Every structure is written in structure tokens, then in C-alpha cells.
Chains A and B, each alone.
Chain A
């Protein structure tokens, strides 16, 4: 194998070479750097890269650790000590993290090397990565299309072999949807499974950090290294972390998979429907039993999500006031002018829109009618899943109702952009886990665009969704196809 072939490897394969001393961690980083230099001008997935620091870590890393010597790309909303953490926003343009997020601390302890920060929608608000204040990331399968979002930088980098794996965050689909549109694997862990300490908060009751990878096995390896209780995050769950990797490989005999009738809605791209139906047939042929289930409150998911997520965001983003960190407006005449102009200059349009909506939802006179009502409907959505999971082990659906759309196509219509989350955001509202795995391609105007299958599991039942996703993946070759960048 030539050095230039290294970046195409999965983590699992890379690790065998590292442990057999056929390559060194330094050579791995050098080959990745060459690949990034080759494709980055086209896809623009990264906001910053610190190879010098990474090479220093590579010199001393123990390759026998679970992720020993594996470089990992990190969404620029997760703090990595000494690196920038812009959240894709002008307001944090000069910010440098003074500490590691818990997930980074754990990945480092497992031998991984966080070497670069990836592009994203500003403060993770978006489904296309076009809301970044810095630049636009392009889909490696078709450079005129979006990679999905908000974790679009990590998704595009992994898809283009410009990263072995990436971290993303998922508040309403921001890992699974870009994974689907870019043709990689993406995992949204159960709420509380992964620490949020060091993740810049968007909507605290919905946010989770998860991996974007080339295979299900790689995702399980990263989850195993970073999941678990953290004393710095009171919402992290104390339950022990199962061995996600050793649980792979079990067959699907007797596994019951639910297909929600409410997910057969109008507006799903016919090529997406047909690929997902074929995937369900394939799962059946692998031994799974397909069962009809009902999630009656699905249709309210988007409305609930945009009230609760924006309400939480309006409170979380109050910290960006130009006092302790970040941008500050010049020569304010008084404190209100200081706040008002700092935030006007520092935030982009989508963030402003959501702060306004969230502030309204929480304001006197509307709090009960909007916010509390949305929380109650959230509870009904959660109960829908509890009832469905009494009948089935997991639920399958498309991840996104359509393949990657054109750059600029949705930016003028926020509501149309919000509807892209229709199959993903109820999982965040209910706190359950989900994974997107490649399940085919749509042919659109001569382009081949990836389609994702979403598998949803009960809270803390990551082993089950990994088992199903792995069995499906291993019986197909979608994950082996690569874009020609």
C-alpha cells in the first residue's frame, strides 16, 4: 500500500497497520495532510488545522491504545485546548479554548489525535452549513450541493477521505442529516450518554456529541472511547458503557424493526423512498421482522422543536455579551448600546432569527401558550416512542426526505430549511439514540447523491442500533463507494 492510500482507510484498518508498525502515526498524519491539501480547496471542510501540535502528539502516542495514533477532526463547537473554537461565528472569531471538552480529554486518553476543527452552521443552527460566517462547505459528491448540516464540515471531510473520522453535534439531526447527504455513518447518542462539558451549548436539553465515520465499526470505537458519566455534566447518565465494538456481528434473527406509518408523508423524494424500502427488504432478508408502528404526534415535531430549541438557544446565547470573551463593539455609549451592537455585529442572520423567536416564546404572556404547550407536546412525542418500543427493538426510516440540495436553494426560506429535519428531530425531543447509515444513491442531473437509512433505538440501546446498522452495512457495498473529488 502506498502512503497516499492511507487516508482512505477505516480507523479499524488503519489501526492494524499502526500496531504492526507498518506505518507510524507521523506518516499517517503526513498522508492525511497531503490528502487535505489536495481536496480542501474544493470542499472547504476545515476552519483550522494544527498539524504541528498533532505531530508532537504523534511522536509520543501509544498505538496500542484503543484509538492510538488515529487523527480525529472536531466540529468547531467543541473545545480543544489551545485551538480556536469559533462555532462558525464572527462573535468567537478570535476565541482560543483554554481547556479540553470531556469528549476530547477521553479521546486523547484513548490515543486519538484531535488535529483540526471543521466548518459548521453558526452555533449549529442550520441544515446545510451555509450559515457559517466563515465559508461554505461543499458536498464531495457534487460540489454544487450542500453537505448537510450543521456538522457539514466533519461529514464532508470524512466523505472525501480528508479525515478518518469526525466529531459532530446533533440537536435536531445535525449529525445524522449531513451523514446521510454526504454518504457516511453518523450517530446521535441517547441524551446523557456523552458528556456535553466543553461543548458550546445551543439547546441544552437536546444537544449530544457523536461521531461521523466511514463505517459502523469505526463509530462504535469512538463511542466506546467517549461515552459515559462525567461529573462536570449533571445531565450525563451514570449507566455503565457497554462494549459497543464487541456487540457488533450478531445476526438479526428475531430482531423486530418498526416502520412508522406517519413517516410515509408526501414530499419524500421517490428515489429516497425506494432506496429505504429496499433497505428494509434487505434487513428482512437478514432475519429481521418488520412491524408497522405508529408515532401519532410526529407531525408536531418540527413546531415543538423550533419553539424549544430556540427558547433554549436564546437563553444560552445570552452569554455572548462581549464581556468575558469574543467580539465587543467599539466605543459603546452605554451598556445597552454595548450589548445591542456587540450582538448585532457578532451574530449572523439565522442566529438572530432564532434568538428573536426564542425570546418571544419565553416572553411574558406567551410562555404558557407557546413554551409550556410545546413541552407538553414534547412529552406526548416521547410517549409515542415509549409505546412503539414496547412492540419493536428499533425503528427504521429515511434520515432525510431528500438527497443533498443545491447551495443557495433554501437560504431565503427558513421554514423550508427547518422541514429538512422532519425525520430526525423527534429523536432529540424524546432523548433516544439514532444512527444514519448509507443505503443507496439518487441520480440527479448526472450526479450520484448518497441516501441515508435512519435507525432509531431506545434510550441507551446504542448496542442494538450498532448491531442492526452493522449487519445492514456488511451486507451491502454502499459504504465502499467514494466520491471523485
Chain B
């Protein structure tokens, strides 16, 4: 399991697309290093013959008929948009 020095909040915040202030970066580095240290106890567990559980109640391949039904109108879907025009979401420019 990872030791605290391998855990780099500044790097992870870039992966998460989440800017942090310098103070937050320093604080989280210490606080989350404590959490990771606490969680090191998971190393003790023998998990050799165990499958990984994604859910407490195993369910797989839930199918239903693919039937069309009424859904949001464009106005409803756009009702909370921070920036919209011509029935479209306006986004920050992606390509030059």
C-alpha cells in the first residue's frame, strides 16, 4: 500500500480537475496521509481466495425492453444550464 510520500495531493487534484489553494493542498496532504496510514491495516487481511465485491447484493446483467417513452423536453433539460442559447448548452471553447 502507498506510503505517504507517494501520495501527492497537488498531482491528484490535477487528475480530479479540481483546483486547490496552497493552504488546502498542504492541509489535505496531512489529513489524508493520516487516513491512508489508518487504512494500512487493510494490508493485514488475507484476501487470496476472495473475489472483489462491487455491491453488497450481487446483481448482474439487468435487462429490460428498449422502449421509447416521454422524457424531458429541451426546455426542461436546459432549465438549470448556467449558459444556454438556441436550445443548446453553451460550453467553454474546446478547440482553437
- Are the CB atoms of A430 and B56 closer together than 8 Å? yes
**Chain B min CB distance to A392 (Å):** 18
- Do the beta carbons of B80 and A94 come within 8 Å of each other? yes
The residues of B that contact A366 with a CB separation of less than 8 Å are 2
- Of chain B, the residue at the smallest CB distance from A206 is B56
Chain B residues near A261 (CB-CB < 8 A): none
For A428, the chain B residues whose CB sits under 8 A away are 56
In contact, A353 and B32 (Cβ under 8 angstroms): yes
Which of the four size classes fits the interface of chain B? 35 or more
Complex Cα gap A332–B94 (Å): 11
- With A323-B89, A376-B51, A431-B56: A231-B64 Cβ-Cβ less than 8 Å: yes
Given contacts A303-B41, A356-B9, contact A335 B93 (CB under 8 A): yes
Question: In angstroms, how far is the closest chain A Cβ from the Cβ of B82?
Answer: 4
- Closest chain-B Cβ to A368's Cβ sits at a distance in Å of 10
Complex CA gap A262/B28 in Å reads 31
A265 at the interface (CB under 8 A from B): no
Cβ of B19 and Cβ of A340 under 8 Å apart? yes
Q: How far is the CA of A460 from the CA of B91 in the complex (A)?
A: 45
Q: Mark A367-390, 1 if CB is under 8 A from B, else 0.
A: 001101111111110100000000
Say whether A343 faces chain B, with CB atoms less than 8 Å apart. yes
Q: Check A375 against B53 for contact (C-beta < 8 Å).
A: yes
Interface residues of B (CB under 8 A from A): 1-2, 7, 9, 12-13, 15-21, 24, 28, 31-32, 34-35, 38-39, 41-43, 45, 47, 50-57, 59, 62, 64, 72, 76-77, 79-83, 89, 91-94
A323-B81, A340-B19, A344-B20 known; 17 new pairs, CB 8 Å cut-off, are A191-B55, A235-B62, A303-B41, A328-B82, A334-B93, A335-B92, A337-B92, A341-B19, A352-B20, A357-B35, A360-B12, A373-B45, A378-B53, A379-B51, A380-B45, A414-B35, A418-B35
Most buried by A among B39, B41, B81: B39
Q: Which residue of B lies closest to A357 (CB)?
A: B32
Contacts of A234 in B (CB 8 A): 59, 62
Verify B17–A373 contact, CB threshold 8 A. no
Question: By the criterion CB–CB under 8 Å, are B92 and A359 in contact?
Answer: no
Are A205 and B31 also in contact (CB < 8 A) when A300-B45, A349-B24, A352-B18 are? no
Interface flags for A428-463 (1: CB within 8 Å of B; 0: not) read: 111110000000000000000000000000010000
A164 at interface, CB cutoff 8 A: no
> Closest approach, in angstroms, between the C-beta of B8 and any C-beta of chain A?
9
- Complex interface: chain B residues within 8 A of A370 (CB): 1-2, 39
A201 and B31 alpha carbons, distance in the complex (Å):
25
Closest chain A residue to B15, Cβ basis: A359
Q: Is A314 interfacial (CB-CB < 8 Å)?
A: yes
Establish whether residues B16 and A376, one from each chain, have CB atoms under 8 Å apart when the complex forms: no
Q: Indicate if the CB atoms of A338 and B92 lie closer than 8 Å.
A: yes
When distances are taken between beta carbons in the complex, the residues of chain A under 8 Å from B82 are: 322-323, 325-328
Tell me whether B17 and A323 are in contact (CB under 8 A): no
Known: A300-B41, A307-B39, A376-B50. A98 touches B72 (CB 8 A): yes
Specify which chain A residues have a CB less than 8 angstroms from the CB of B24 in the assembled complex.
Answer: 349, 352
Assembly CA distance A352 to B10 (angstroms) = 12
Residue of A nearest to B8 (CB): A360
In the complex, chain B residues whose CB is within 8 Å of the CB of A430:
56
Q: List 28 A-B contacts (CB under 8 A).
A: A96-B80, A98-B79, A99-B76, A190-B57, A234-B59, A235-B62, A300-B42, A303-B38, A303-B39, A323-B81, A323-B82, A326-B82, A328-B82, A328-B83, A332-B92, A334-B93, A336-B17, A344-B19, A352-B20, A355-B16, A356-B20, A359-B12, A363-B15, A369-B2, A376-B50, A378-B53, A382-B53, A414-B34
Q: Which residues of A contact B92 (CB under 8 A)?
A: 332, 334-335, 337-338
In the complex formed, the residue of A with least CB distance to B92 is A338
Is there an interface contact between A431 and B57, defined as CB atoms closer than 8 Å?
A: yes
Cα distance A430–B1 when bound, in Å? 24
**Contact check: which of B32, B47, B72, B77 meets A377 at CB < 8 Å?**
B47
Interface set, chain A 306-345, CB cutoff 8 A to B: 306-307, 314, 318, 321-328, 332, 334-341, 343-344
Known contacts A300-B45, A376-B51; is A360 also within 8 Å of B93 by CB? Answer: no
When distances are taken between beta carbons in the complex, the residues of chain B under 8 Å from A344 are 18-21
Chain B positions within 8 Å of A205 at CB level? 54-56
